[in-house]
Structures are given as structure tokens and as C-alpha cells.
Amino acid sequence: MTTKTERTARAHSSADIEPAARGRKRDHSRDADILDAALDVLAEVGAAGITMDLVAERAGAGKATIYRRWTSKAELVIDAVAHIERMQVDIEHLPDTGTLRGDLLALFRPEAMEASTRRLKIMSALASLLSADQALAEAGSAVIVKPWADAHFALMQRAVTRGEVSARADITTLSQVVPSMAAYRTLVQRKPFTLEFLLSMIDGVIMPALRICGARQPKKSDRSQT
């Protein structure tokens, strides 16, 4: 028995290959412009205000182009969020600082802090759109969490290879911790993902869980004040 999510995914796959079967190849050359426009509109007017027509107008694209590519504004928004995540994490060019902690911190780019307010608006709008549809909620969570979890796994696997992390460590689970908590923070709590939050997760959760020496630990003086 297939789930609604599986049927939705298959429908997207079929939609992408169907034009080719009729001898027409779908033109994706304007996808990035359209997705950028969708993000801009979403940040400005929120979930209640965004429409396919507004996105088409902002992108300077024909309405028919938008409606052929995406069947609903929720699907368009999910693709737009996936687009921004792809721009922020490149699995083929991960940082290599020599330590896992350094690598995890290097994934967090300074420009992400500057765009935190805009990103929070986008994620808040996404949460509103997906709250009533479990299948789309799962798809939305996947596009936010998976790219980062894959990157964290690759960095942790590299740390295992160089002997920094034990081969017995459950890096499959631990690689999902920060991305999942980041998604929860932005989608549910509607709070920005900050450098301070990242440091608390790396030094307070990931490093101790992997038992890596050098992780920041509370000082005795700090503990005595609590």
C-alpha cells in the first residue's frame, strides 16, 4: 500500500518526465528565478498572501509557466525552500578544518546570520502552509533536514576515518540532531537559527555524545553558581 507522500512524489516524477515522453522537454532555465521570487513574496506577504500569480509577476514569468511546473502554492514554496537549502549547503564541497567541531561550525556561514530575519519569515510561512497537510509537512521537513543531515553525516564519517571519532559512534542518529533541532526551532518555535544556538548544540550535545576531547564543558565556577 502506498502512502500519500509516495503518491505525491511519484506524481512529481511523472510530471517531470511526461513532457519528454511527448517529445517536448520541460524548460527549467527559469526555475531559479521563479523560486527566488517565491521566497521574496513569501517573506513579504506570508502564507496567507502568497499566490501563484504574485510569484509569476515578481519573476516576470508567464502564469502558465508557473502552473505547469507547480500544481499548488504549497508545492512551489517547498521547492523554493529546497532551493535555498541547496544554496547554503554543498555536499560536494564541505569544509575541512581538521577537526569535526571546526567543520560543523564552518558549515554555518556568516551570510546566514544576516538573512536570519528573512529566513524566519519564510519558515514561519512554510509552517503555516504545511500545518494542515501531513504529506506536505513530511516533504517540507525532508527538504529542510536532509541536506544538512547528509552534510553532518559526511563530516562525522570523515572524523571516524581520521580516528577523531570512534567507529562505534552512532553517527547516523547524531548527524540528524542539529538539523532536526534547527527545523524545530524555525518551524515550530518560530525562532531564528543563530550561532549561539549552534554552539550550544555542538558543544553541549554533539561533542559530548561523540566523547570528543576538547568540547567546551562548564567550569566548576559556573556549576557552583547554579
Apex 71 CA angle, 68 and 72, nearest 5: 135
Q: What is the spatial distance between Cα 44 and Cα 32, in angstroms, rounded to a whole number?
A: 18
Summarised one tens digit per residue, pLDDT across range 85-127 is 887 888 889 999 999 999 999 998 765 555 567 777 888 888 8
Read off the C-alpha cell for 27.
Answer: 524548460
pLDDT at position 24 is: 46
- Does residue 216 sit within a domain? no
Q: Is the pTM of this model over 0.85?
A: no
- Does residue 97 sit within a domain? yes
pLDDT mean over 39-59: 91
Residue 23: which CATH number?
1.10.357.10
- Does residue 155 sit within a domain? yes
Does 15 score more than 70 pLDDT?
no
Higher pLDDT, 110 or 168: 168
- Does residue 135 sit within a domain? yes
Q: What is the mean pLDDT of the chain?
A: 80
pLDDT at position 83 is: 87
Higher pLDDT, 206 or 109: 206
Domain encompassing residue 69 = 10-210
Band (pLDDT 50/70/90 cuts) for residue 46 is confident
- Does residue 226 sit within a domain? no
Does 214 score more than 60 pLDDT?
no
- Does residue 192 sit within a domain? yes
- The total domain count for the chain is 1
pLDDT at position 191 is: 86
Residue with cell 511527448: 22
Cα dist. 147→18, 35, 107, 130, 180 in Å?
Answer: 27, 18, 12, 19, 11
- Does residue 177 sit within a domain? yes
- Picking from 100, 124, 110, 111, the residue whose alpha carbon sits closest to that of residue 47 is 124
8 A C-beta contact, residue 86 and residue 94: no
pLDDT at position 111 is: 56
Q: What is the spatial distance between Cα 223 and Cα 35, in angstroms, rounded to a whole number?
A: 48
pLDDT at position 198 is: 93
pLDDT at position 169 is: 95
pLDDT at position 116 is: 66
- Does residue 48 sit within a domain? yes
pLDDT mean over 146-152: 94
